[in-house]
Structure 1
Amino acid sequence: MAESAESTWEIAEPQKLAFDEPVTALHVRVVNGTVNVMGTDEDAARLEVTQLDGPPLIVTQEGGTLTVAYDDLPWKGFLKWLDRKGWRRHAVVSLAVPSGTAVEVGTVGAGAMVSGIDGRTTVKGVAGDTTLVGLSGSVRAETVSGNVEAQAVTGELRFHSVSGDLTVVEATGPSVKADSVSGDMIVDLGPSGRSTDVKLTSVSGEIAIRLPHPADAVVEADTTSGTVSNAFEDLRVGGEWGAKRITGKLGAGTGVLKATTVSGSIALLRRPQEERYEPDGPPGNPSDNPPADTPPAGDGTTGKVL
């Protein structure tokens, strides 16, 4: 079988590119600035660089893999890249790729947002915050000090950080596993109709977990010197001095919830019961029955090589 040809572009100024060849994997590595990756229903991928200071970005496409990165910023050992002289650069990069693309994003001091991706998503950040929205594939996020916010994630979520915080909103995936040294964790589990495996570990960070109604999990949460708060009558709180534990079973106990912190506090919160809206006004009045919020659609335009 013949090897796939490699195409290369050097981006030294703001520019747009459109790629005719199919894209199944995306690799992005930048320093400072912003990275936006959006999954679309289109078959082609599009790149727009709106700001660029410092050395050029190198764009390569080989087979189904599209890479947008600096030559001196490898993926291997990414979180240990601490060349301060190399930080003197800035890029604002936006990409639209097929939703099934496997995405890898590495940022040093840059913010990142990844949305609408069904494939696997991996994010690594030395500093800079990351937002993940509407991802249905497996998600892995590693940061040194950057915070991660995940909204409406339906796949497996893995998080590792030294001091960055984790905020999860409306998670309905099969598992959420996170560990941090000093970062706080707030995890909101949405109703999914299936069991969820949640395991959170921190040394000094605080942990708060909001469970759906009705909850269904075997619970084991403990802190060595922090405080605990429990909103569930079926769970037991033990330990008057020093270490405290919350244990018990909610519902059938098909899911697992384990939370451990040494000096941080732990709070188990109850999600309000889902309420069904029953309009009591005349039918056909849109002001009485507003539609559910939906994410904005893509612009549907196709890029051109400029």
Structure 2
Amino acid sequence: MTDRTVTEPGTFEFEGALDTLCVRIVGGAVNVVGTAGGPARLEVTELDGPPLIVTRKGRTLTVAYEDLNWKGFLKWRDRHGWRRRAVISLAVPQQTSVEVGVVTAGAVISGLSGSTVVQGVNGDTTLVGLTGPVKAHTVAGNVEAQSLSGDLRVNTVSGDLTVVEGSGPGVRADSVSGSMVLDLDPAAGADVHLTTVSGEIAIRIPEPGDADVEANTTSGKVSCAFDELEVSGMWGTRRITGRVGDGGTRLRATTVSGAIALLRRPPVEDAPSFRKDL
């Protein structure tokens, strides 16, 4: 095992095979990108406060503060009162499994085929072009995902979830007050399950859809662009149920007081911007 204490901006390379990356920072931003070749590379562009500890143990690379552990990460408090900020970028092999934890910092993770786990407190997370399974747990940060083809699991307290071009085998998202906007082209047999207390849910699927739908809201409004589906309930709980196309994909959405909208994506050449549809 080798340790390196980083006290100022700089660039570092790591020879040899690498299959796991762990990052934990406070303030600033972290950017992780998968690459087809070359050694793993760390670039620290800003660093204020205590040093970062870079540890290489076998095939695992860790970049973190000494007093910031993964266990209990979402409840961490800076007992030393340090003012911290770190802006770092890492290039790692595409197959690397990644764990990223950020406090009041943004995270961008792209181009990986290994598993990805993100925990965030007051920081937004952006996920792009990931083919492996993804888990994201945030307190107040938003999660934005584009072109994901792996399984996606998201849990937020007040952060919003946006998914564009999602084609994985499943999406499971839970939130207290965050809204969810998903543009999906799910794989055959995919399972999509969305739950929020007060947030709104909007889902767009392509024609013909091929989905078995069960969506309900206790007191929110509903809208549905598929004539094949039944909208029921005049007072209290309202539901959208039925089958679109040949079915197969299971689509479930539940909110207590938020609205639910199920939208139809027209053929690509005629498709307007998703956000304009909303």
Q: TM-score, normalised by structure 2?
A: 0.95
Distance between the aligned counterparts of 1:83 and 1:73, measured in 2?
A: 9
Alpha carbons of structure 1 residues 259 and 94: separation in structure 2 relative to 1, 3 Å: same
Distance 2:135 2:175 in 1: 14
Distance 1:86 1:213 in 2: 54
Does residue 74 (structure 1) correspond to residue 69 (structure 2)? The answer is yes
| 3-state SS of 1:59 partner | strand
Q: 2:89 aligns with which of 72, 94, 98?
A: 94
The alignment status of 1:40 with 2:38, answered yes or no, reads no
3-state SS, counterpart of residue 235 of structure 2:
coil
- Structure 2 match to 1:268: 262
CA distance in 1, matches of 2:208, 2:187: 10
CA displacement at 1:193 relative to structure 2: 5.4
| 2:171 is equivalent to residue 176 of structure 1 | yes
Number of residues of Structure 1 aligned to a counterpart in Structure 2: 270
2:142 alignment counterpart? 147
Q: Give the match for residue 115 of structure 2.
A: 120
1:7 Cα deviation from its structure 2 partner: 1.1
Distance 2:258 2:235 in 1: 15
Structure whose alpha-carbon radius of gyration is higher: 1
Higher mean alpha-carbon deviation, 40-49 vs 102-111, is at 40-49
Q: Between Structure 1 and Structure 2, which shows a larger proportion of strand residues?
A: 2
Instruction: Give SS of 1:79's match.
Output: helix
For 2:81 and 2:134, locate their aligned partners in 1 and report how far apart those are by CA, in whole Å. Answer: 28
Q: Which amino acid aligns with 1:100?
A: Q
Cα distance between partner residues in 2 of 1:249 and 1:33: 46
Q: Hey, what does 2:226 align to over in structure 1?
A: 232
Letter in 2 for 1:38: V
1:123-202 paired onto structure 2 within 5 Å: 123-190=118-185, 194-202=188-196
The whole-number CA distance in structure 1 between the counterparts of 2:197 and 2:131 is 30
- For structure 1, list consecutive stretches of 5 or more residues without a partner in the other structure: 1-5, 277-306
> In 2, are the aligned partners of 1:32 and 1:87 still within 8 Å (CA)?
no
Report % sequence identity: 63
1:283 corresponds to which residue?
A: none
CA distance in 2, matches of 1:21, 1:79: 32
Q: Which residue of 2 aligns with 1:280?
A: none
* RMSD, aligned CA: 1.3
Aligned-residue offset at 1:154:
0.4
Which amino acid in structure 1 is aligned with residue 176 of structure 2? V
Q: What's 1:108 paired with?
A: 103
Q: 2:115 is matched by which residue type in structure 1?
A: R
Corresponding residue for 1:215?
209
Gaps of at least 5 residues in structure 2 are 271-278
Deviations 1:121-141 (A, max 9, x none): 000001110100000000000
